[in-house]
C-alpha cells in the first residue's frame, strides 16, 4: 500500500518561497514514507514555508515544518540554524532543497535539523509519532552551474533585484542569500554582473556601497519583461475596473494589483484603462470574479507568477492589495500603451519618497 498524500491549495501561501520546490518536496516525502503512512501539507504559519501532518497507520499524527532553500552551502547552515532557533513553534524542522551537498547535510545533522533534497538525500527523525527515514541520493549536484550571470532573467535574479531595490541599507552576499533564499554563489555572480554594468558600486569586490535602483529596475525589466515572469490571460470586466477592485477587496484570493491601478495608488497618474493583477490561479479567480475571457477589448490582464516574490511587500489600501512600488514599476516598464511613461512617473515618486516604501 502506497502512502497517501494531499497538497492543499493554500499550502504555499508564503511570500519568500518557491511553490514548485515545496510541492515537489512534499511529493518526494510521500514516496519515502513507510507503507500506511499519510502526509498532508498545511498552510505555513510564522517563519516557515509549510507544515506537513504525518499520520501513522495507528492514526497517531504530528506536524513537521518545512523550510525551503533553492541552494544551501555549509557556511550558510550556521546562519540558517540561528534564524530557525528563534521560531515560536517547536515542531521538527526539515530543510528542503533541490540538492544538498554532503558537507551541508553533515552541518544540518550537527545542528539537529532534518533534510530532504530532490535527488534522494533524506534524513527525517520524528519522535511523535515515531518515524526515522534516511536515504542516499546524488553525491554531486546534477545541475551544477558555475557560469557567470549574463542577464537578470529568471525568478532568482528577480528576487535579488527586489531585495537590492527595497532594502534601505545595502546587504552583503550572505545577507542577500538568506533574505532571498538563493545560493550565495549565484548571488555573488549576479552582483558581479551588476558591478560590471555600474548598477551597483562595491568596496573592491566586497560589500555594496551604493545602488542605482532606478537603473537596476529598468535593466531588470529589459532582461525579464512582464510576460516572461508568468502566464498571462486577458479578460473583460463589463462593469468597469472600480467594480473589479471592490470585488477583489471582498475576495479570499491571493493577489496583488500591479500596473496602472497600483501606480495610481502611490503617484497621481491618468485613470487606469487596464487592470493588471498577479494571481496564483488566474482561470479559477476569473470565474469567481465574474470575468469574461476576451482576446480583444480586454480591460483586465491576469498573470500567474512564476515566483511568489511578486507578493512580497504588498500594500493594502481600501481593502485592496497592491504590489510593492518596485514590483509595479518593473511591471509597467514593459506594459503596453502608457505603461512605460507611467513607470517613469512612479519612479519619480519613489525617488522623492524613499522613506515611504524602502524598508
pLDDT digits (tens, 9 = 90+) for 88-100: 778 899 999 999 9
pLDDT in tens, 107-164: 899 999 999 999 999 999 999 899 999 999 998 888 765 555 688 999 999 999 999 9
**pLDDT number for residue 7:** 40
With a CB cutoff of 8 Å and minimum separation 6, the contacts of 329 are 217, 263, 343, 346, 347, 350
With a CB cutoff of 8 Å and minimum separation 6, the contacts of 287 are none
**What is the DSSP code (8-state) at residue 199?**
S
**pLDDT number for residue 21:** 85
Percent of all residues in the chain with a pLDDT value above 90, rounded to a whole number: 63
Query: What 3-state DSSP class applies to 65?
Result: strand
pLDDT at 16 over 60: no
Work out the angle at residue 7's Cα, subtended by the Cα atoms of residues 129 and 281, and round it to the nearest 5 degrees: 160
Within 10 A of 90 (CB to CB), how many other CB atoms are there?
7
276: closest CA among 233, 214, 307, 326? 233
CB 30 within 8 A of CB 40: no
Within 10 A of 113 (CB to CB), how many other CB atoms are there?
20
Query: What 3-state DSSP class applies to 222?
Result: helix
What DSSP string runs through 13-42?
A: --TTS-HHHHHHHHHHHHHHSPTT-EEEEE
CATH of domain 155-223: 1.10.10.10
**pLDDT number for residue 210:** 92
281: closest CA among 299, 260, 308, 261? 308
C-alpha cell at 338: 502608457
Quote the CA–CA distance of 116 and 67 in Å, as a whole number. 10
Domains of the chain, residue spans: 4-135, 155-223, 226-346
C-alpha cell at 293: 475571457
C-alpha cell at 327: 514590483
pLDDT at 3 over 80: no
- Its CATH architecture, for the domain 226-346, is 2-Layer Sandwich (3.30)
Beta bridge partners of 301: 234, 276
Within 10 A of 298 (CB to CB), how many other CB atoms are there?
18
pTM of the predicted model as reported, rounded to 2 decimal places: 0.64
pLDDT band at 15 (very low <50, low <70, confident <90, very high): very low
pLDDT band at 204 (very low <50, low <70, confident <90, very high): low
Within 10 A of 130 (CB to CB), how many other CB atoms are there?
10
**pLDDT number for residue 203:** 79
**Span 338-347, mean pLDDT?**
94
| 114-117 β-sheet, strand order | 4-7, 38-42, 50-55, 61-69, 93-97, 114-117, 122-126, 131-135
Hey, what's the torsion of the CAs at 11, 235, 305, 344, to 10 degrees? -140
pLDDT band at 236 (very low <50, low <70, confident <90, very high): very high
CATH of domain 4-135: 3.40.1350
pLDDT band at 237 (very low <50, low <70, confident <90, very high): very high
Beta bridge partners of 131: 126
Quote the CA–CA distance of 286 and 234 in Å, as a whole number. 10
**pLDDT number for residue 6:** 42
Q: Which residue has the cell 518526494?
A: 28
Within 10 A of 343 (CB to CB), how many other CB atoms are there?
26
95: closest CA among 159, 21, 43? 21
**pLDDT number for residue 72:** 86
pLDDT in tens, 23-64: 889 889 989 999 999 988 876 666 778 889 999 999 999 999
**pLDDT number for residue 44:** 66
pLDDT in tens, 272-297: 889 999 999 999 999 999 999 998 89
**pLDDT number for residue 70:** 83
Amino acid at each position: 500500500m502506497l502512502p497517501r498524500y494531499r497538497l492543499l491549495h493554500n499550502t504555499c501561501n508564503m511570500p519568500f518561497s518557491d511553490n514548485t520546490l515545496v510541492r515537489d518536496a512534499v511529493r518526494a516525502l510521500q514516496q519515502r514514507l513507510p507503507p500506511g503512512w499519510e502526509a498532508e501539507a498545511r498552510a505555513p504559519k510564522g517563519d516557515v514555508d509549510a507544515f506537513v501532518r504525518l499520520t501513522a497507520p495507528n492514526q497517531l499524527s504530528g506536524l513537521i515544518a518545512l523550510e525551503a532553500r533553492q541552494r544551501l552551502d555549509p557556511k550558510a547552515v550556521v546562519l540558517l540554524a540561528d534564524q530557525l532557533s528563534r521560531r515560536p513553534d517547536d515542531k521538527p524542522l526539515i530543510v528542503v532543497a533541490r540538492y544538498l551537498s554532503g558537507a551541508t547535510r553533515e552541518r544540518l545533522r550537527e545542528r539537529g535539523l532534518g533534510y530532504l533534497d530532490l535527488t534522494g538525500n533524506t534524513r527525517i527523525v520524528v519522535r511523535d509519532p515515531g518515524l526515522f527515514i534516511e536515504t542516499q541520493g546524488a553525491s554531486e549536484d546534477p545541475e551544477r552551474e558555475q557560469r557567470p550571470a549574463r542577464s537578470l532573467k529568471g525568478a532568482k535574479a528577480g528576487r535579488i533585484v527586489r531585495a537590492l531595490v527595497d532594502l534601505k541599507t545595502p546587504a552583503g552576499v550572505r545577507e542577500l542569500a538568506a533574505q532571498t533564499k538563493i545560493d550565495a554563489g549565484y548571488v555573488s555572480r549576479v552582483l558581479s554582473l551588476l558591478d560590471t554594468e555600474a548598477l551597483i558600486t562595491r568596496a573592491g569586490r566586497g560589500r555594496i556601497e551604493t545602488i542605482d535602483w532606478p537603473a537596476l529596475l529598468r535593466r531588470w525589466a529589459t532582461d525579464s519583461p512582464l510576460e516572461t515572469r508568468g502566464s498571462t490571460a486577458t479578460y473583460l470586466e463589463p462593469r468597469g475596473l472600480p467594480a473589479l477592485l471592490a470585488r477583489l477587496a471582498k475576495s479570499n484570493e491571493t493577489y496583488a494589483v500591479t500596473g496602472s491601478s497600483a501606480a495610481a495608488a502611490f503617484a497621481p497618474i491618468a485613470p487606469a484603462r487596464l487592470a493588471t493583477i498577479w494571481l496564483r490561479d488566474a482561470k479559477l479567480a476569473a470565474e469567481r470574479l465574474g470575468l469574461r475571457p476576451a482576446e480583444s477589448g480586454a480591460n483586465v490582464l491576469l498573470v500567474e507568477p512564476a515566483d511568489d516574490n511578486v507578493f512580497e511587500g504588498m500594500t493594502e489600501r481600501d481593502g485592496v492589495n497592491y504590489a510593492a512600488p518596485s514590483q509595479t514599476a518593473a511591471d509597467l516598464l514593459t506594459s503596453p500603451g502608457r505603461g512605460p511613461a507611467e513607470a517613469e512617473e512612479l519612479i519619480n515618486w519613489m525617488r522623492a519618497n524613499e522613506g515611504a516604501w524602502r524598508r
